[in-house]
Amino acid sequence: MDNKVYGRSRLEAASFIVSSAFPDPKLHGASFLARLSGSTAEFLSMWAIMMAGPTPFVLNSSTGNLELELAPKLPAWLFNDQGIVSFTFLGTVKVTYHNPLGKDTWTMTPQSIIVTGLDGLLQTFQGGVITSPTAALVRSQHVSTIDVYY
């Protein structure tokens, strides 16, 4: 197919090609890429599990309170020379994993977590669980950063 008709290099993926049954003949044969194709949605799902774990928010079965447990599945090679990798959680919360031992995260448990509120106040949690009410503050995006130390 002519690249000019197709609309991009033939080597690029396309979600769909306009059929000759489409009313506008100028678009027949043109290709389009949907913003969230199946492969894009799958990649975003894998990325979310890698960075935050499969179920970051849970209800504690004993108390019924909301908890946040970040359980990344990151290989050691993804961390920079200082043992750090960061990502944005829920669109606004900067999460930084500190991994000075340079190990795969699925082989370790966090030693501590520091949560910085929008007001600048720090809260420290021992282990890998952020408990209520701070977990709810994270979910409602009322914190600026989370630092997880392994």
pLDDT tens-place string over residues 21-53 = 888 888 787 777 666 567 777 888 899 999 999
- Domain boundaries, given as residue ranges, for the chain: 3-32, 50-149
Mean pLDDT value of segment 64-75? 96
Beta-carbon contacts of 86 under 8 Å, excluding residues fewer than 6 positions away, are: 94, 95, 96, 97
The predicted pLDDT at position 90 comes to 95
The helix (H) or strand (E) run that includes residue 136 is: helix 134-139
Give the Cα separation of 93 and 149 in Å (integer). Answer: 16
Instruction: Kindly state the percentage of the chain with pLDDT values over 70.
Output: 85
pTM of the model: 0.74
pLDDT tens per residue, range 135-148: 999 999 999 999 99
pLDDT for the residue 130: 98
